Structure 1
Amino acid sequence: MPFRPRTAVSGAILATVAVLLCPAAAAARPAAAPAPPGWSAAPAPGPGVTPGDRDRPYFYLAGAPGTVMNDRLSLRNPTGRAVTVRLRGTGAWIAFADKEVRVPPRTRAAVPFTVTVPPDAAPGEHPAALIATGGGTGRGVAGRDTVPVHLRVTGPALAALTVENVSVRARGDAAVIRYTLVNRGNTVLAPRLAVRADGVFGPVLRRAVRALPGRLAPGQSADLTETWAGPPALDAVEVRLTATADGGAHGSATASYTALPWGVVAAPAFLLAAGGVLVAVRRRRRAERTGGVREGAPEPIGSGGARPAGGQPADPAAELTSTGSGARA
């Protein structure tokens, strides 16, 4: 087939135009719609209120001991398939009308639940949560969503805090103070702590009041430690911990700490051992001076007759005279 320059040039031009127009055509196409989010759980809006983005982020319920409070949990399913969600609450006070709910595609379901406050419930804060578990992708962890419940039992508030189990132990060149904080009241506490230590010759440690990390719920306890750098090497110290919190909560406790160098501890044992050696040496020397004769042992009898108690040889004439026979020497 003969080569035709005009045909080749036309083909090249058409190919260039096609390459230039392809990105424009791709850009003109509508972008694919993003995948809809998974199902979610949230507090239901009030009666007659249209659900929206400004719905309550958590439940807040307040009541006296012995009361029953009602509310509703909203389950939203924007996906194209039905989702089955299982419901439960943390604690025995919460009960759902239905523990398992099937939510159709692109709908919202409101599930009632009740909170029954026991008659002997302590006034104060009682945090809880509603937990929804189902197939697919939830708002939280895959297939799971949690809604907080701030529950307050009304009544006289009591803020009480105690410091317990205080101990001080040496650790190398430092010391460790261990203690336990216990919330004995019915309100949530944010404890603060002050530390002081006094020895025989005066103060050895002063730490001003400072806030401790974390909060203590009613009835909750926390085991904590304080590091004491550079405690005295020779002293008898009383360590006092004082904990406080809002509402008038106050607690204090002490522990004893005795610091003794190794030489001071070893000196009494050394002196006792030295005294025992000295007594043994004196007894040995005394035995050598007495010739090795033990006190109370019988005297030896020689060929010349018996010895008197003084240890001198007996006089034969005196012995004969003492016999009373009338014989003369």
Structure 2
Amino acid sequence: MSPPLPPRVRLLWSASSVPLVLLIVVAAAAPVRPAHNGILAAADSRTAWSVVPSASGGTRPAKGGRPYFYAEGVPGAVLKDTVSVVNPGAKALTVELRGADADNTRGGGLSLRKRSTDTGAWITFAERKLRIPPHTRADVPFTVTVPGDATPGDHPGAIVASGGGRDAAVRLQLRVSGPTLAALTVERVRAEGRHISYDLVNRGNTVLTPRLTVRADGVFGEVLHRGPRTLPVELLPGRRITLTEPWPDAPTFDAVDITLTATAGGGARDTAAGSARFVPWGLLAGVAAGLAAAGGGAFWWRRRVGGLRGRSARGPDGRTQQIDPDNELTGAVT
């Protein structure tokens, strides 16, 4: 990160310096691009305020500005950088800064935890609450104090600014020096209708971008094969997410074995399998209903015929005669 900065907020504005004000307005008016994977809630219009990494700070300066903060240090280190809040509007803005821990949503998106216990709790600002005049950028130094017992690996977080009725955040990628492990597991593979559902779990201490291969084999051979492709998710250490793989052309009647293989950088790899039985229950129900109706009719016929054959009647001469059911049913008289 950048060298130590004075523990004060620097307001870059001047009523007597028109060129400087114009320069700041032009820079702030440009829409801010979302940071890595959408954690940054960027400005919604050309007059909305924004929060961004300072242009000159950090260990990885980028041409045109840094998209996010990056910091790396050993346990016990105190890392320094500067965050900028830009107010291009015509009114003064009051903003409050705080640190936050990054998290995964259940579906794999990125979110922020309400209560910080990791990176977000290690951030200290030179000034947490500040009032920014119109057409002004405020640069706020901050430190990240890595605990002495912090575990090695990635500790994703963010700096959040709240003001003007909305929140905006910029990501902070913190890595604590030490051994790293890339480990990934695939779990709970199951077919659900016209899609395959599965869980991915990051068992290591680095952020992973998984790649997935899907294969399904039926009774008569392969019915699905999708080569390795990068998933649009970023799996944080220790997190579990549930994803679905669309399968619109799933078989109608088959017994299928499904195999999912996930890989990621650092040698992470795992394979899991599941099975599914595809049965056209609607068609089978219709056939079963038809067979039941046919069986019921046949049973009724047999009962009817059997009952008539067992009946007798007394003839004109007073003798008992057996009734022929075929003649009676057809109306024939003998």
TM-score range, shorter chain: 0.5 to 0.7
- CA distance in structure 2 between the aligned counterparts of 1:234 and 1:185, rounded to whole angstroms: 40
The 3-state SS of whatever aligns with 1:187 is coil
The 3-state SS of whatever aligns with 2:300 is helix
Match of 2:24 among 13, 31, 37: 37
- TM-score, L = length of structure 2: 0.56
The 3-state SS of whatever aligns with 1:283 is helix
1:61 aligns with 2:90: no
Structure 1 pair 112/181, CA: closer, same or farther in 2 (3 Å)?
closer
Equivalences for residues 290-329 of structure 1 within 5 A: 290-291=310-311
* Unaligned ranges ≥5, structure 2: 1-17, 29-50, 58-62, 101-119, 313-334
Match of 1:289 among 305, 309, 313: 309
Equivalences for residues 139-288 of structure 1 within 5 A: 148-170=171-193, 175-251=194-270, 252-260=272-280, 262-288=282-308
Structure 2 letter corresponding to 1:280: W
- TM-score, L = length of structure 1: 0.56
Q: Tell me if the contact between 2:54 and 2:139 (Cα under 8 Å) persists in the aligned partners.
A: no
- CA distance in structure 2 between the aligned counterparts of 1:250 and 1:204, rounded to whole angstroms: 24
Equivalences for residues 83-102 of structure 1 within 5 A: 86-90=96-100, 91-100=120-129
Residues 169-222 of structure 1: CA deviation (Å, up to 9, x unaligned): 44xxxx322333232322111111111111112222222222222321223344
The 3-state SS of whatever aligns with 1:185 is coil
* Unaligned ranges ≥5, structure 1: 1-31, 47-52, 136-141, 293-329
The percentage of aligned residue pairs carrying the same residue is 44
Match of 1:71 among 68, 71, 80: 80
1:117 aligns with 2:117: no
Structure 1 pair 68/258, CA: closer, same or farther in 2 (3 Å)?
same
- CA distance in structure 1 between the aligned counterparts of 2:192 and 2:243, rounded to whole angstroms: 14
Structure 2 letter corresponding to 1:158: L
Structure 1 pair 282/248, CA: closer, same or farther in 2 (3 Å)?
same
Where relative contact order (Cα < 8 A, 6+ residues apart) is larger, the structure is 2
Residues 104-150 of structure 1: CA deviation (Å, up to 9, x unaligned): 9999876453423373x543222223345679xxxxxx999866432
Q: Tell me if the contact between 1:37 and 1:78 (Cα under 8 Å) persists in the aligned partners.
A: no
Q: Tell me if the contact between 2:52 and 2:68 (Cα under 8 Å) persists in the aligned partners.
A: no
Structure 2 letter corresponding to 1:37: I
Q: Tell me if the contact between 1:43 and 1:57 (Cα under 8 Å) persists in the aligned partners.
A: no
- CA distance in structure 2 between the aligned counterparts of 1:229 and 1:165, rounded to whole angstroms: 20
Deviates more, 1:209-218 or 1:103-112: 103-112
The 3-state SS of whatever aligns with 2:24 is coil
Query: What is the aligned length?
Result: 243
Residue 155 of structure 2 corresponds to which residue in structure 1? 126
Residues 270-304 of structure 1: CA deviation (Å, up to 9, x unaligned): 33443333233323332322328xxxxxxxxxxxx
